[in-house]
Amino acid sequence: MTLIDGKATSQKIKDEIKNEVIKLKQKGITPTLAVILVGDDPASQTYVASKQKACLACQMGSVMHKLSANTTEQELISLIDVLNADDSIDGILVQLPLPKHINTNEILRKIDPKKDVDGFCAQNMGALVSGLNGFVPCTPLGIMELLKQYNINPQGLNALVIGRSNIVGKPMAALLLNAGATVTIAHSKTKNLADLSKNADLIIAAIGKANFIKPEMVKEGAIIIDVGINRLENGKLVGDCDFENLKDKCDFITPVPGGVGPMTIAMLLSNTLKSAKERKLNER
Ligand code: GUN
């Protein structure tokens, strides 16, 4: 079994990004990410703090807008309008989930697609499905990068994506399809998941249930990518896949933590850099 080390891979990518940022700064361009956090969800606070720290470590600019939980949709849209119009801002990220009184789709569609470094707006989603240039959501993009770094070519593989969210499952399936995999998408309403998973060469698990994928559900030599982050009652972080019992059965597996998670942030920086280059160097 080969352990897919997301921490080391993301560090390598961040080092490359930092070198590019330093060169851009010599041309007077500082790639800058604006993060908007609405409310005080503790997990979201941790995530945005990590994103900001990573920007600074790569010498990028980072602007944080913390808004109270009772911010109105209109106030949030007004802020997005200001950031859209501000040429010093290359990427705009609205941390999800938003409070229930705010319509997430309405908000996401206000972000300028050229600054939508999360790749969540309909234009970027459409570009992904059509195989056109655009921003690809960071977690699935990070998974594709991990596969590349470990010389895993999805072409011809039976890939099973478990989860159908706009953030992970749907864009992941599109990327794997574009790469020539035979893609199945399973979700909470899927019947007989084990029949599908036992046939899969590559499993991407974005389920949200601790240790859900067991050895009897996977075939010998499978490649397992675990997107889950679940906290057990004892405080331990575990993925959606039963790592300890799977590690001797599969050929490749990502750990949790230290697998997919660090790649998400590296791809956010990569997308912000891409935005700065495309908008300010006219590189496409
Ligand atoms: N919430 C959970 N994951 C993400 C993400 O990748 N981007 C944003 N904006 N919010 C999230």
CA of 95 to the centre of ligand 1 (A): 5
Would residue 123 count as lying in a domain? no
Whether 70 and 142 map to the same domain: the answer is no
User: Does residue 124 have its Cβ closer than 6 Å to ligand 1?
Assistant: no
Work out how many domains the chain is built from and give that number.
Answer: 2
Query: Is residue 282 scored above 90 in pLDDT?
Result: no
Written as one string, the DSSP assignment of the chain is -EE--HHHHHHHHHHHHHHHHHHHHHTT---EEEEEEES--HHHHHHHHHHHHHHHHTT-EEEEEEE-TT--HHHHHHHHHHHHH-TT--EEEE-SSPPTTS-HHHHHTTS-GGG-TT--SHHHHHHHHHT-SS---HHHHHHHHHHHHTT---TT-EEEEE---TTTHHHHHHHHHHTT-EEEEE-TT-S-HHHHHTT-SEEEE---STT-B-GGGS-TT-EEEE---EE-TTS-EE-SB-HHHHTTT-SEE--SSSSHHHHHHHHHHHHHHHHHHHHHS---
CA of 158 to the centre of ligand 1 (A): 27
Q: Is 5 a catalytic residue?
A: no
Q: Establish whether 229 is an annotated binding residue.
A: yes
Q: Establish whether 163 is an annotated binding residue.
A: yes
Would residue 146 count as lying in a domain? yes
Whether 142 and 250 map to the same domain: the answer is yes
Whether 189 and 225 map to the same domain: the answer is yes
163-183: average pLDDT: 98
pLDDT value at position 283? 59
Pick the catalytic residue from 51, 110, 115, 274. 51
Would residue 217 count as lying in a domain? yes
**Ligand 1 atom nearest 264 alpha carbon:** 6
User: Does residue 34 have its Cβ closer than 6 Å to ligand 1?
Assistant: no
pLDDT value at position 265? 97
Q: What is the pLDDT of residues 234-260, one digit of tens each?
A: 999 999 999 999 999 999 999 999 999
Q: Is 226 a catalytic residue?
A: no
Would residue 67 count as lying in a domain? yes
Residue nearest to atom 11 of ligand 1 (CA): 96
Would residue 55 count as lying in a domain? yes
**Ligand 1 atom nearest 268 alpha carbon:** 6
Whether 110 and 142 map to the same domain: the answer is no
Whether 100 and 40 map to the same domain: the answer is yes
User: Does residue 141 have its Cβ closer than 6 Å to ligand 1?
Assistant: no
Whether 143 and 246 map to the same domain: the answer is yes
Whether 156 and 224 map to the same domain: the answer is yes
Whether 142 and 243 map to the same domain: the answer is yes
Whether 49 and 160 map to the same domain: the answer is no
Would residue 153 count as lying in a domain? yes
Q: What is the pLDDT of residues 45-59, one digit of tens each?
A: 999 999 999 999 999
Q: Establish whether 270 is an annotated binding residue.
A: no
**Ligand 1 atom nearest 138 alpha carbon:** 6
Whether 108 and 142 map to the same domain: the answer is no
pLDDT value at position 284? 59
pTM over 0.95: yes
Would residue 278 count as lying in a domain? no
Domain boundary among 75, 98, 114: 114
Whether 147 and 246 map to the same domain: the answer is yes
Q: Is 81 a catalytic residue?
A: no
Give me the domain span that covers residue 256.
138-260
User: Does residue 229 have its Cβ closer than 6 Å to ligand 1?
Assistant: no
Instruction: Check which CATH number belongs to the domain holding 248 and give it.
Output: 3.40.50.720
Instruction: Check which CATH number belongs to the domain holding 97 and give it.
Output: 3.40.50.10860
Whether 181 and 213 map to the same domain: the answer is yes
Would residue 68 count as lying in a domain? yes
186-206: average pLDDT: 98
Q: What is the pLDDT of residues 105-153, one digit of tens each?
A: 999 999 999 999 999 999 999 999 999 999 999 999 999 999 999 999 9
